[in-house]
Amino acid sequence: MPSTPVAPAPLTHNHPPPLLGASVRHEWALDPSFLTVNHGSFGATPRVVQAVQAAWRARMEAQPTRFMATELPQALRAAADRLGTFLGARGEDIALLDNATTGCNAVLRSLRLDPGDEVLVLSHGYNAVRQTVRFVTDRAGARMTEAALPFPAPDAAGLTEAVVKALGPRTRLAVIDHVTSGSALVMPLAAIVAACHDAGVPVLVDGAHAPGQLDLDLEAIGADWYAGNCHKWLCAPKGSAFLWARRDRQADLHPTVISHGYGQGFGAEFDWTGTRDPSPFLAIPAALDFHARLGGAALRARNATLAAAAGADLAARWGTGMGNAGCSAAMAVVRLPGSARADEAAARELRRRLLARDCDAPVHAFDGALWLRLSAFAYNEAADYDRLFTVVNAARSA
DSSP secondary structure, 209-239, as one string? T-BTTB---HHHH--SEEEEESSSTT-PPTT
Instruction: Give the full edge-to-edge strand order of the sheet including 203-207.
Output: 94-97, 241-245, 225-229, 203-207, 171-177, 118-122, 143-147
Looking only at the bridges linking them, the beta strands covering 118-122 and 94-97 are unpaired
The angle at the Cα of 100, spanning 121 to 111, to the nearest 5 degrees, equals 55
pLDDT digits (tens, 9 = 90+) for 42-101: 999 999 999 999 999 999 999 999 999 999 999 999 999 999 999 999 999 999 999 999
pLDDT digits (tens, 9 = 90+) for 277-300: 999 999 999 999 999 999 999 999
Supply the pTM of this predicted model: 0.94
Contacts of 375 (CB under 8 A, 6+ apart): 37, 38, 39, 40, 41, 307, 330, 331
Torsion angles phi and psi, residue 28, rounded to 5 = -110, 165
Give the span between the Cα atoms of 292 and 299, in whole angstroms.
Answer: 8
The angle at the Cα of 163, spanning 161 to 168, to the nearest 5 degrees, equals 115
**More confident call, 397 vs 129:** 129
Give the span between the Cα atoms of 306 and 161, in whole angstroms.
Answer: 29
pLDDT digits (tens, 9 = 90+) for 208-226: 999 999 999 999 999 999 9
Give the span between the Cα atoms of 23 and 42, in whole angstroms.
Answer: 22
β-pair partners for 331: 375
Confidence of residue 314 (pLDDT cuts 50, 70, 90): very high
Structural domains present in the chain? 74-289 (3.40.640.10), 297-397 (3.90.1150.10)
Collapsed DSSP state (helix, strand, coil) of residue 205: strand
E-assigned strand segments in 111-202: 118-122, 143-147, 171-177
Confidence of residue 273 (pLDDT cuts 50, 70, 90): very high
> Roughly how many angstroms between the first and final C-alpha of the chain, as a whole number?
56
